[in-house]
Amino acid sequence: MNIGDRIAKLRDDRGWTQEQTAGLLGISRAALSHYEKNRREPDTDTLSKFADLFKVSVDFLVGRTNAPHVTLDEPVREFVEQLELSEEDLLSKYNLKIDGLSLTPEEAKRFIAFVRMERNMK
């Protein structure tokens, strides 16, 4: 079952029309129809909206699992969103790789600095 089929089934299971569902998501009915017919795939933001609306995981929507309700409880989600690893934590706990090759500590620091600079430019 693909994304569109899962979205259509979740909507049908609730007895919602495409118009109602699109309104709840803040998208057009035509866009929803394209998603359900697999003519288009939702972007990550819209995919998250579907998951929140239907109270399922994104993994379920994209077919990575058949267990629809494997989602984080709200307190756990809030805790995870607050987590932030320092550069030292990242370097000591994770073996960062690009193209299968481990980054040196200096490369990893430059990578982190690049991401921070890019975010500041937005």
Q: Does residue 96 share a domain with residue 61?
A: no
For the stretch 41-75, pLDDT in tens is: 999 999 999 999 998 888 889 888 777 765 556 77
For the stretch 80-118, pLDDT in tens is: 666 666 767 766 777 878 888 888 888 888 887 888 888
Residue 54: count other Cβ atoms within 10 Å of its Cβ.
21
Global pTM reads 0.57
Residue 27: count other Cβ atoms within 10 Å of its Cβ.
17
> Could you give the number of structural domains in the chain?
2
Please check whether residue 68 lies inside any domain of the structure: yes
Q: Does residue 107 share a domain with residue 49?
A: no
Give the structural domain span for 51.
Answer: 3-74
Under DSSP, the state recorded for 70 is: -
